[in-house]
Amino acid sequence: MSSGEILPIYEHFFTWQGEGTHQGRSAYFIRTFGCPVHCPWCDSAGTWHKDYIPSDIEKLSISELLSVAESHNPDFVVVTGGEPTIHNLNPLTQICYDKSLPVHLETSGAFEIKGKFDWITLSPKQWKKPLKENIALANEIKIIVDSETAIQDWIDSYPEILKTESVWLNPEWSKRNDPKILDIITETVKQNGAPFRAGYQLHKLYHADQKDANSRPNVPLGGNINRGL
């Protein structure tokens, strides 16, 4: 397997994980380019939206990416997107294994996962539903709460989600101050307990990602259907 294999990369940068079980730990993020899911509130729309795609998308070798990541001595590498699983990630995960570098995946779960990951975060999306076999692979589920019925809608459609150790409930960022959204998260956790956990994108409060010059500014669509789809 050649470490010279390439991936289209939107950005890659050193920061810390702002969400989920590994929140607060140092991480090197590799954000691949391309996504067929097209969430109307996507905060990385530059990976797919015709109005926001930058002109300088790089195609980088896996060895180059991981050499840069290693130089920062992160706790782990995070492969995210866009939707990273539209790419063959087997070569990347194999090299991470060879280097004893833990590698995590953030995915919608809508496509086959090609590669062996130390940790999988699955965040299901209505616009391209997750594969049930991927839900079974997930170490944690992250539900984006963009409506008062979002949590129950996902549980009704995919009750196997409840078998996951942690189900994080994150307010959709443009609704992070909406009391109805925050209250439904609070009440779900209080009434049900595990596996539900209240979540947040803590890195955005710290502007942690932007401390690395290689990080691009967020491009949040904020739930505007006309812009998002």
The pair of three-digit structure tokens given for residue 196, joined into one six-digit string: 């539900």
Q: What does the alpha-carbon distance between residue 171 and residue 128 come to, in Å, rounded to a whole number? A: 20
Lookup result for tokens 């087997």: 90
pLDDT value of residue 97: 96
pLDDT value of residue 3: 52
List residues bridging with 77 in a β-sheet: 28, 103
Q: What does the alpha-carbon distance between residue 128 and residue 59 come to, in Å, rounded to a whole number? A: 26
Q: Within the chain, where are the H helices?
A: 62-71, 90-98, 132-137, 150-157, 179-192, 202-206, 225-228
Q: How many helices (H) and strands (E) does the chain have?
A: 7, 9
pLDDT value of residue 220: 74
Q: What does the alpha-carbon distance between residue 145 and residue 151 come to, in Å, rounded to a whole number? A: 7
Q: Which domains does the chain have, with CATH numbers?
A: 6-135+202-224 (3.20.20.70)
What's the CA angle centered on 65, arms 63 and 71, to 5 degrees? 100
pLDDT value of residue 77: 98
Lookup result for tokens 């975060």: 121
Helix (H, G, I), strand (E, B) or coil at 90: helix
List residues bridging with 11 in a β-sheet: 31
Per-residue pLDDT in tens (0 to 9) along the chain, 229 residues: 445 599 999 999 999 999 999 999 999 999 999 999 999 999 999 999 999 999 999 999 999 999 999 999 999 999 999 999 999 999 999 999 999 999 999 999 999 999 999 999 999 999 999 999 999 999 999 999 999 999 999 999 999 999 999 999 999 999 999 999 999 999 999 999 999 999 999 999 999 999 999 999 887 787 765 555 4
pTM, two decimal places: 0.95
